[in-house]
Structure 1
Amino acid sequence: MTTAERCLRKFGWVLATLMLAGCAVGPDYQRPVVDVGAQYRAVAGWTPARPADDALPADWWRLFNDPALDQLMQDVLVSNQTIAQVEAQYRQAQALLRASGALFFPVLGVDAGVTRSRSGQADATRQYNLGGSVTWEADLWGRIRRTVEADRAQVQASSAELAATRLSVQSTLAQTYFRIRAYDAERRLLDQTIAAYERSLQMTRNRFDAGVASQLDVSSAQVQLENALTQRLALDRQRAQLEHALAVLVGKAPSAFQLDEARVWVDVPEVPAGLPSQLLQRRPDVAAAERRVAAANAEIGVAQSAWFPDLTLSAQGGFRSGQWAQWLTAPFSFWSVGPALAMTLFDGGARSARVDQARAQYDADVAAYRQTVLTALQEVEDYLVAISGLGREQLSQGRALAAARESLRLTRNQYEAGLIDYLSVVQVETSALSAEREAISLGADRLIASVQLMAALGGGWQVDTPQDTAIEVITPEAAVR
């Protein structure tokens, strides 16, 4: 066995020993504890009806049974630019994880060259060389492992952020869609109302010509008609703006998108709220915040590893000769192998500052995680209250609407019988129209509140693994391939 072979064998044993003996400095991660309560306050004391499956489906919007909404949801996942931006950021995080995982492996290099030199009056000489090198940093203190741990957590956070962005865009689309459909219903109502007001104006003019109505009655009917026309124009403007917003959500120019008016109205589905603790698995923004805490925890170890020496093992060898013919012969070969130990002795407190910075970032991310959980709980409670309250309001509004319709029927009969003037009719018709529009608006509000509740519950999203271990979206083996 040659000297070079013996040195390379010793080099391999040193590598294996160091890999087995290495330890990772810094704290091991523990998920921060948050008190989420045993149940939602809004459902305390009563049990809402639940589907057989207690969890929301991933395609939660299909609970509304609206084909047009289903198609828009497919389009938004393909063409929405906000989702495309966050998806690119997710791929960027994956690439960063692969780069940090590559630090586990030695770096191989090769070089070849020829140089021509001259000194004083001597003849010029040429030097041919061909060599290779191997350099490997022993991860004695876990700096590389903590770096990979932090980058893996960032990838998982980025994956959850992508899911949160998709859910947010889908929720916004559904809310915009249902508001447009409410405007469609209001426009049909106003079209019918305008037609009735036009008939009333013509009838009042005929009665004025016959001498049984006053000019005040004609003016009142005219004002009523113009007000209804103005409201109709306002609805057109508001619907057009929402249609433009919908176009941008699906990645199209407003001029290239149109949502035809349709007679679509759906029932409000039952939404299984589950338990507060389930939000830790259901909410992607909560999962993203928790993964950022894990990344910050690993960064503490990276900062602390700077206090320990770095050990680099390297080897190189090759051929060097002044004549081309002798270039690759054994007498002109060279090699070297050996470790290098490097440590910073004084840096003016820079390492301490970086450790303090990492700990402060960890504390900030813990607070952000807890705040995200509390905000998620608040949103669920708010929308549970909204759905329950809007349901009761809708029942009350239904009774008010029935009374307004009956009052309008009686008032019109009295006017046609000549018992009252048209100003009294105008007042009752205005009240009835307001009741009709309020009923439509409450129905839309309940649909929108149900969409908001589904989004607040995470829209059927689930973490891939239990939260007490980690959210795994990429394995360590895949990270270092």
Structure 2
Amino acid sequence: MKRRRRFLLMAGVLALAGCAANAPPQPASSLQLPSGWRAQAAGAPAATDAHVEQLWWQAFGDPVLSDLVGEALARNGDLRVARARVQEYRARLAQADANRAPNLAFDGSPTRTRTLASSGKPYVTNIFQAELQASYEIDVWGRLGNLSDAAGESYRAEQASLDAAALSIAASVATSYLNLRGLDAQLALTQSTLQLREQSRELARKQFEVGYSSRLEWLQAQSEYHAAAEQVPQLQRQIFEQENALAILVGGNPGAIARGLPLAELAAPGVPAGLPSELLRRRPDIARAEHNLAAANASLAATRDQLLPSFKLTAAGGGQATTLTDFLHAPTALWRLTALAAGPLFDGGRVQAQTDAAGAQRDQLVYTYENVVRNAFAETENSLGAIYRLQQQAVENDARRATAADTLRIAHNRYRNGYASYLEELDAQRTLYSADVGLLQLKTRILVASVDLYRAMGGGWSAKVQ
């Protein structure tokens, strides 16, 4: 007999479980992880062990840069908004967890009424009552647990969003600072070139006045001087705007920015050739996509179970009396205990439609996760390729600059000895200046590409090299 009752109970539970809405299956993943990187830094040794280094900006060795990044992480307005969102989702998680706990409430109600008796005479009645109420929903199907899991995953997704924002802000500060040092170097080069152009202009003027050169050469020297002078306020404007943008990034008002190492002393950190693809799992945007997908699966399970009945227990106990003295010393004890089972009988397909919508949202997050991972691989490949190609370009630029410097030396000697016109020297000056500017720009771009690689890998790396 007992076995039969157990069988009937199990059959009833299974029948009720079958009332849940049908949840669509999760689509199969189409991700294929690459076995290695297409691009690698030239001459880099293989890494046997690597892990993400959080304070990656310190690898540039500039204390001012480190201070700026630290200040931005503490004061940046976007990060303050992200931290507030984390607090919001932490509160939502606490609310979801609280729904799984018993609920206790207190109710006290002293009442004084004046009514009519059957004889038609009015009389006054006092009632003093207090009651303690408790209720608890039995999570038979795990719906409340799924809602709590969804809230927990959403909270962790917001934590990952905060990490992503911090990584982006740190990379933006580093990029802005390195660009600023690059502009400073270009301004110093331009001002130095302007002094040389002024000396050349004076030499051309003197030679024109004594008849050694034509007016054309003097005018050309003046034109080259003003061309160099024109670059100075342009670069000063760019530096001014870059300082203001960087000041906003670090959470301050527009203003001047302190300087650390000059561009010539800044060096891009070495890149181990064996950077494993597992480092990308530390990217906060990938972690955020994973947690959002997990939250969607938990929400889908909770939505699917809305058609199942819910079971609640409620209990109340208290006392009641007609006088305050009796209520305080010997009230009449009252209690009640209720078991409630409730569930929908017909909803016109509302829950199934909600389940289908939740499943479609889950599928969107699956595809979003795959897109985020693919984008992470592409960003890493692009950054590695940029560093490698820029390093190759820098080698060619060094050779071009050496040739341009030698050409200028020969042209200057020929001009001073009367074997060539000043236009030949001016042309050599332009070529050398262009090579010098290109060198500074390439140095800046290599440094910025290193920052992009740090961002793509979700931070820095510390490798043991054999």
- On the 8 A contact 1:27/1:297 being kept in 2, the answer is no
Alignment partner, residue 49 of structure 1: 45
Q: Deviations over 1:172-219 (max 9, x none)?
A: 111111111111111111111000001111111111111112221121
The whole-number CA distance in structure 1 between the counterparts of 2:427 and 2:461 is: 51
Give aligned pairs, total. Answer: 439
- On the 8 A contact 2:60/2:269 being kept in 1, the answer is yes
Matched, 1:38 2:13: no
TM-score scaled by length of structure 2: 0.89
Q: Residues 353 and 30 (structure 1 numbering): CA distance in 2 closer, same or farther, change over 3 Å?
A: closer
The whole-number CA distance in structure 1 between the counterparts of 2:437 and 2:341 is: 79
Matched, 1:240 2:236: no
Alignment partner, residue 6 of structure 2: none
Q: Structure 2: where are the runs of 5+ without partners?
A: 1-12
The whole-number CA distance in structure 2 between the counterparts of 1:452 and 1:54 is: 18
Measured on the aligned residues, the alpha-carbon RMSD in Å equals: 2.5
The whole-number CA distance in structure 2 between the counterparts of 1:30 and 1:110 is: 49
- On the 8 A contact 2:75/2:251 being kept in 1, the answer is yes
- On the 8 A contact 2:44/2:273 being kept in 1, the answer is no
Quick check: 289-298 or 258-267, which moved more?
A: 258-267
**Could you say what secondary structure the match of 1:335 adopts?**
strand
1:261 CA drift (Å): 7.6
- On the 8 A contact 1:283/1:461 being kept in 2, the answer is no
Q: Residues 458 and 198 (structure 1 numbering): CA distance in 2 closer, same or farther, change over 3 Å?
A: same
**Could you say what secondary structure the match of 1:458 adopts?**
coil
Alignment partner, residue 112 of structure 1: 108
**Could you say what secondary structure the match of 1:195 adopts?**
helix
The whole-number CA distance in structure 2 between the counterparts of 1:55 and 1:161 is: 21
1:282 CA drift (Å): 2.0
Alignment partner, residue 470 of structure 1: none
Return the letter of the residue paired with 2:357: Q
1:420 CA drift (Å): 2.4
Alignment partner, residue 259 of structure 1: 258
The whole-number CA distance in structure 1 between the counterparts of 2:292 and 2:84 is: 18
Return the letter of the residue paired with 2:257: Q
**Could you say what secondary structure the match of 2:409 adopts?**
helix
Return the letter of the residue paired with 1:42: A
The within-5 A match list for 1:340-359 is 340-359=340-359
Matched, 1:66 2:62: yes
1:356 CA drift (Å): 0.8
Q: Deviations over 1:410-444 (max 9, x none)?
A: 11112222222222222221111011000110111
Matched, 1:223 2:223: yes
The whole-number CA distance in structure 2 between the counterparts of 1:59 and 1:35 is: 30
Return the letter of the residue paired with 1:127: I
The whole-number CA distance in structure 1 between the counterparts of 2:154 and 2:379 is: 26
The whole-number CA distance in structure 2 between the counterparts of 1:387 and 1:461 is: 16
1:323 CA drift (Å): 1.7
**Could you say what secondary structure the match of 1:338 adopts?**
strand
- On the 8 A contact 1:86/1:162 being kept in 2, the answer is yes
The whole-number CA distance in structure 2 between the counterparts of 1:87 and 1:260 is: 30
1:329 CA drift (Å): 5.5
Alignment partner, residue 79 of structure 2: 83
Q: Residues 275 and 29 (structure 1 numbering): CA distance in 2 closer, same or farther, change over 3 Å?
A: farther
The whole-number CA distance in structure 2 between the counterparts of 1:327 and 1:73 is: 67
1:113 CA drift (Å): 1.7
Matched, 1:366 2:366: yes
The within-5 A match list for 1:104-143 is 104-120=100-116, 121-143=121-143
The whole-number CA distance in structure 1 between the counterparts of 2:29 and 2:84 is: 29
The whole-number CA distance in structure 2 between the counterparts of 1:109 and 1:364 is: 42
1:246 CA drift (Å): 0.9
Alignment partner, residue 406 of structure 2: 406
The whole-number CA distance in structure 2 between the counterparts of 1:31 and 1:155 is: 26
Alignment partner, residue 4 of structure 2: none
Alignment partner, residue 322 of structure 2: 322
Q: Residues 141 and 28 (structure 1 numbering): CA distance in 2 closer, same or farther, change over 3 Å?
A: farther
1:397 CA drift (Å): 0.5
Q: Deviations over 1:277-303 (max 9, x none)?
A: 404522111111011100000011110
Q: Structure 1: where are the runs of 5+ without partners?
A: 1-17, 463-481
Alignment partner, residue 176 of structure 1: 176
Q: Deviations over 1:229-251 (max 9, x none)?
A: 11111111111111111101110
Matched, 1:92 2:91: no
Quick check: 386-395 or 237-246, which moved more?
A: 237-246
1:51 CA drift (Å): 6.3
The whole-number CA distance in structure 2 between the counterparts of 1:29 and 1:321 is: 61
1:54 CA drift (Å): 2.7
**Could you say what secondary structure the match of 1:316 adopts?**
strand
TM-score scaled by length of structure 1: 0.86
The whole-number CA distance in structure 1 between the counterparts of 2:211 and 2:316 is: 115
Alignment partner, residue 446 of structure 1: 446
**Could you say what secondary structure the match of 1:258 adopts?**
coil
**Could you say what secondary structure the match of 2:109 adopts?**
strand
The whole-number CA distance in structure 2 between the counterparts of 1:63 and 1:239 is: 24
Which has a greater percent of strand? 2
Return the letter of the residue paired with 1:259: A
1:386 CA drift (Å): 0.5
- On the 8 A contact 1:271/1:454 being kept in 2, the answer is no
Q: Residues 342 and 274 (structure 1 numbering): CA distance in 2 closer, same or farther, change over 3 Å?
A: farther
Q: Residues 262 and 228 (structure 1 numbering): CA distance in 2 closer, same or farther, change over 3 Å?
A: farther
- On the 8 A contact 2:127/2:321 being kept in 1, the answer is yes
Kindly report structure 1 stretches of 4+ aligned residues shifted beyond 6 Å. 25-31
Percent identical pairs in the alignment equals 32
1:32 CA drift (Å): 5.1
Alignment partner, residue 272 of structure 1: 272
Return the letter of the residue paired with 1:73: V
Return the letter of the residue paired with 1:234: Q
**Could you say what secondary structure the match of 1:348 adopts?**
coil
**Could you say what secondary structure the match of 1:398 adopts?**
helix
The whole-number CA distance in structure 2 between the counterparts of 1:276 and 1:358 is: 35
The whole-number CA distance in structure 2 between the counterparts of 1:429 and 1:47 is: 34
The whole-number CA distance in structure 2 between the counterparts of 1:64 and 1:39 is: 26
The within-5 A match list for 1:290-329 is 290-328=290-328
Return the letter of the residue paired with 2:190: L
